[in-house]
Chains A and B, each alone.
Chain A
């Protein structure tokens, strides 16, 4: 607690106000989220203070639920497909905008990034109309299409920064030494972009795994996990096990984000040295 205050003092903030502000800010951000794990271990069906006692039965209950497990499997499947396809599309797009000059380049980039800025509910309705018009049955497949659309801008952003940062003459050197553009991609570009690809896949996976609105609009018989959780909220006695599930998802998501960032950083350091 005192460390940020001391640091703030060193930075010419004698009252430590900046430090206090930083701490208050972090509390504001994370206290609501922390209620999730706290109540998931509370031995009471009511989500209210005071806490009654420690139990893990909500976790047991959550993971014994077949519907829940099916929804989890569905989410993992959709997440895997969405992250792989979005990363491939993102890589192609990133390669195009970083390596070639073409007319309307910023328009193309803007269009790819647009799903990030369109309200998801609008995107969801629009996609629903389109998919109905094309008579594609609503299913995990239609959810995956929506997720790919949503994940591609993230993948593209991660991979563009990765490709932008690496010395173009490395690819030229490979072609100069007799390799075709295709072999150059496999022998030079791919290994150097690999950390970006891993990081893009992890990030896309999380975006897909946590996504609710698009899945809700585009679902068929089988819901994804967030949609399933939402449907469980109607039953008050299911709430604690939903909290348990939520806590698990929270922790796994955090770990994945940290992992994705770590992999990305790992690559950056290596690259910096490689180019200098």
Chain B
């Protein structure tokens, strides 16, 4: 059995008024991993995090932290610490006292206390900032102080509630790398809440995708992107083209399908597929290629409806006859010629490798 630091068992949280913020969640978080809760706002990810922290208590189910049943233990008795979305830096205390806040109960000698706080300041590269007040720090610095204040308690699990949401894009990308590095150094389990899928993909060992209070899929970043288990997950993580199709035949590992605008096409079969079944076939925009002349492999004909030049790549919307929504195609601009020749209204061919198609039951 894997070494689980957190076990979520049948956890449901129902708020007054009957709304189920979290609906029967069941999963484990392994010791030392970087685990993300990902989903749109209102999907229950923050409620789940707050239940792990002890700010909310589940209506049903049990939460085990390091083997201890903890669902009803108040936050001040849990071996978890949290970095808040607002950072919650105490405005009446300076940086030093903010970081030292949680150590008061440990009855450390003054020297030991100073040594540990200075060590923490060094870790977050804010040596010499101890006497500053919270309002004299930039957003990124405040975020680091919040991080140090939580980590100095040496928690078994560090909980992070959208900690990068308030930072600008460049700083956010820097902090993503730093956070990931820090997590490897300290070896503490991180549970990270975000609605930013790129952020989750680039930082996490595993991600739980949530929607409407339900955990939809838990997987590593690559599996989540390349093998989503539902239409919801597929469309929440990145862009994807969805093709409504009917199964015509199954031949070993390969299914033959038919969909409006596509005619008959092949895709890797999934378990439990039956002929005549309605299903959604999905393919990522970057797995489609655009050519001016008819390609030899699987393809459809279309016309370019719109295009956007993004520097390193270009996006195209291609209208396919018989299909309502245009196909989204992403092309890497690998040579300069790529950037010309695909003007709107031009007839083009869209081709793909059948192995890139994903079948999703709705």
Contacts and interface: CB of A to CB of B under 8 A. Distances in A.
A271 B105 CA distance: 27
A173 B88 contact: yes
A273 B137 CA distance: 11
A57 B104 CA distance: 61
Given A172-B55, A172-B75, A173-B82, A178 B153 contact: yes
B84 A274 contact: no
Contact of A175 (B76, B86, B104): B76
B53 A275 contact: no
B89 A274 contact: yes
Nearest to B85: A169
A127 to B, nearest CB: 38
Contact of B76 (A176, A192, A276): A176
B135 interface: yes
Interface in B227-263: none
Interface SS, A side = helix
Given A170-B90, A176-B81, A191-B92, A274 B153 contact: no
Most A C-beta atoms less than 10 A away, residue of B55, B89, B91 = B91
Interface residues of A, number: 23
Contacts of B91: 170, 192, 270-271, 273-275
Contact of A170 (B53, B54, B88, B105): B88
Nearest to A271: B91
Contacts of A192: 91-92
Contacts of B149: 173, 177
Given A192-B91, A270-B91, A169 B84 contact: yes
Interface string A167-184: 101101111111110000
Contacts of A274: 89-92, 134-135
A177 B89 contact: no
A180 B149 CA distance: 17
Contacts of B102: 177-179
Interface in B12-40: 16
A174 B101 contact: yes
Contacts of B150: 176-177
Contacts of A187: 101
A188 interface: yes
A174 B149 CA distance: 10
Nearest to A167: B86
Interface string A181-198: 000000110011000000
A101 interface: yes
Contacts of B16: 101
A183 to B, nearest CB: 9
Most B C-beta atoms less than 10 A away, residue of A167, A174, A274 = A274
A173 B76 contact: no
Contacts of B80: 176
Contacts of B88: 167, 169-170, 172-173
B74 interface: yes
B153 A177 contact: yes
Interface in A217-276: 270-271, 273-276
B184 to A, nearest CB: 24
A270 B102 CA distance: 23
A220 to B, nearest CB: 44
A178 B135 contact: no
Most A C-beta atoms less than 10 A away, residue of B74, B76, B82, B150 = B76
Contacts of A170: 88, 90-91
Interface in B55-111: 55, 74-76, 80-82, 84-86, 88-92, 101-102, 104-105
B342 to A, nearest CB: 47
Contacts of B92: 188, 191-192, 270, 274
Contact of A176 (B53, B89, B104, B134): B53
A35 B55 CA distance: 59
B74 A173 contact: no
Nearest to B53: A176
A274 B90 CA distance: 7
A34 B80 CA distance: 63
A172 B76 CA distance: 9
A164 B173 CA distance: 34
A172 B88 CA distance: 9
17 contacts: A167-B86, A169-B88, A172-B84, A173-B90, A175-B55, A175-B74, A175-B75, A176-B75, A176-B80, A176-B82, A177-B81, A177-B153, A178-B105, A179-B76, A179-B104, A192-B92, A274-B135
> Nearest 8 pairs between A and B by C-beta?
A274-B91, A177-B102, A273-B135, A173-B88, A169-B88, A169-B84, A175-B76, A191-B92
Interface of B: 16, 53-55, 74-76, 80-82, 84-86, 88-92, 101-102, 104-105, 134-135, 149-150, 153
